[in-house]
Amino acid sequence: MKNHDSRILRKRKVKLRKRLARRQWSAQSKPMFRARNIQYEMAERVRAIDCGGIGAFHQLARKSGLIRAIDARLHVLKRHLPYQESDHVLNIAYNSLTGGNCLDDIELRRNDEAYMDGLGAERIPDPTTAGDFTRRFAEQDVLDLLEAINSVRPKLWKKRLKAAERKEAILDVDGTLAPTTGECKEGMGITYKGVWGYHPLLVSLANTQEPLYLVNRSGNRPSHDGSVEWLDRGIGLVRQAFSRVCQRGDTDFSLTRHFDRWTQEGVRFAFGKDATKNLVEIAEGLDTSRWSVLERRQRLPKTGRSRQRPVNVKEQIVVEKEYKNITLQKEHVAEFRYRPTRCKRGYRVIALRKQLSVDQGQVLLWKETRYFFYIANIEEMTPAEVVFFCNDRCNQENLIEQLKNGLNAMRMPVGDLVSNWAYMVMSALAWTLKAWFALLVRNSQRRQELLKMEFRGFLNAIVRLPTQIIRTGRRIVFRILGYNYWTRTFLETYDRISRLSLA
């Protein structure tokens, strides 16, 4: 970072700290918002954008080799008049990255001269052209785009993750429902919930929260359908940078016919297992001494002091209205060896026994016991650690939520399954750029904050920087006009991006 920029940041930080410092206010006779004589006027020379962070992400896409990889692998257009494939892909990705919710929002950026100047573009594709680009895709083209993006990931992992962080890659897999109200979208189906739409499959890397493979499927497909091919692709991808691979998934992905093969290939796994009758009988027949109480991990407050728990209003209403209520009393874990029918060897099965009470009002109706099972080939973890490890898969649920409602990548705006798949991949690229940016952050605590940050928070902290755009003979200058808590981190990380080389 330049000394001049660092000095300005320090001054702004001190000035803001003084302004927000706690002090004893006397009673105020007027509102704090006192502005009156507000006027608007157009700037004649100065031009600015509200998403100044976009320059850093475009530089990241260029320096990482992403643009070059897309143009080398993806061949959708017969002639480039005037756009390359990478222009179309990044146009949709940047629309999502800057807060656009649909293809029509591209029109706002297309009519922003300062935005196009910041990207060094004479013009960008309009929404109609962007939609037409997605309709040109065949399945192989979407796969080529996925592999073009994935070709950059191992280089960045090797460059930015320490050896200890690359000891084991954890692959999460899950399906999600993407409903649509359209009636003419080819490839959609009716889900088990009776909702029309699609059923995308996501294979993600839990270490960095990156979506590795995002696959569109008809809404009537089961969660695990076709997942093995994409899991195997994910295994091959992460092995280029990580020493070991471990897979996680819910009961739908407990595909026992592949357990022996994965184990022979050195792939570890921990999946949920359906509570079938034979497994429940085995668990009920275990000796009492083999069961131990499961102590859930306690989340400590950041301040070191715990606040008094507020009154549970929902619980009060349930009791007053005499609704039927199921309450968890105790949890116990045990383990045993079990050989699935389609396997030639046995695996660890962790049994989780939940003791529940069913109440109505303040009257106990009955007590109930439910069993949950996990199957794994991980030997060094205790039964409780296997349960916690599988429960950590909920982070992928958060990732799916961000892709669906943060980026609106699963909005399904175009006319058929493959074109919507292409749109999903291009829009989800915005989240990948977010993860790559976080990996380049020097401070480990800030890096983890950015990796875990919801997209809306990331958009406001890093992307939406009010910035003046100045074009000189050989430079495009982004002059930051505002300040927030993340500005120093942004500038320091941009310095690392500008020096990045993954060749």
In a domain, 81, yes or no: yes
Say how far apart CA 304 and CA 79 lie, in whole Å.
62
Helical axes 153-160 vs 227-238, angle rounded to 10°: 40
For residue range 311-347, list pLDDT tens digits in order: 999 988 988 888 999 999 999 999 999 999 999 999 9
Q: Is the pLDDT of residue 299 over 70?
A: no
What is the pLDDT confidence band of residue 304, given thresholds at 50, 70 and 90?
low
pLDDT given at position 33: 86
Q: Is residue 332 part of a domain?
A: no
Total structural domains in the chain?
1
Q: Would you state the pLDDT for residue 213?
A: 97
Does residue 177 sit within a domain?
no
Helix (H) or strand (E) segment spanning residue 282: helix 277-284
The H or E element that residue 189 is part of is strand 189-190
In a domain, 168, yes or no: no
pLDDT at residue 25, as a whole number: 82
396-445 pLDDT, tens per residue?
999 999 999 999 999 999 999 999 999 999 999 999 999 999 999 999 99
pLDDT score of 232 more than 70? yes
Residue 136: which residues within 8 A CB-CB, separation 6 or more? 76, 77
463-489 residue pLDDT tens: 999 999 998 878 999 999 989 999 999
d(C-alpha 167, C-alpha 207), whole Å: 11
Condensed to tens digits (0 to 9), the pLDDT of residues 63-100 reads: 999 999 999 999 999 999 999 999 999 999 999 999 99
- Here the contacts of 443-447 (C-beta below 8 Å, separation 24 or greater) are 443/489, 446/489
Q: Is the pLDDT of residue 101 over 70?
A: yes
Is the pLDDT at 366 greater than 80? The verdict is yes
The mean pLDDT value of the chain amounts to 93
The reply to whether 214 falls in a domain is: no
Q: What average pLDDT does range 99-117 have in this prediction?
A: 94
Q: What is the pLDDT of residues 194-223, one digit of tens each?
A: 999 999 999 999 999 999 999 999 999 999
302 has a pLDDT exceeding 70:
no
Provide the residue count of the chain.
503
143-180 per-position pLDDT tens digit: 999 999 999 999 999 999 999 999 999 999 999 999 99
Q: What angle do CA 384, 291, 268 make, to 5 degrees?
A: 35
Nearest CA to 200 out of 169, 221, 228 is that of 221
Q: Which residue has better confidence, 36 or 386?
A: 386
- Residue 287's CB is within 10 A of a number of other CB atoms, namely 7
pLDDT tens per residue across span 19-66: 888 888 888 888 888 888 888 888 888 899 999 999 999 999 999 999
The confidence score (pLDDT) of residue 301 equals 61
Is there a domain that residue 248 lies in?
Answer: no
Q: How confident is residue 4, by pLDDT bands cut at 50, 70 and 90?
A: confident
Show the DSSP H helices in 328-372 as ranges: none
Q: Is residue 354 part of a domain?
A: no
By the 8 A CB rule, do 144 and 422 touch?
no
122 is in which domain, residue-wise?
Answer: 3-11+45-142+425-498
Distance separating alpha carbons of residues 310 and 369, to the nearest angstrom: 29
pTM across the whole model:
0.92
Q: How far apart are CA 250 and CA 153, in angstroms?
A: 26
Query: Per the domain annotation, does 488 fall within a domain?
Result: yes
pLDDT (tens digit per residue) in 249-274: 999 999 999 999 999 999 999 999 99
Q: Measure the CA–CA gap between 500 and 63, rounded to whole angstroms.
A: 6
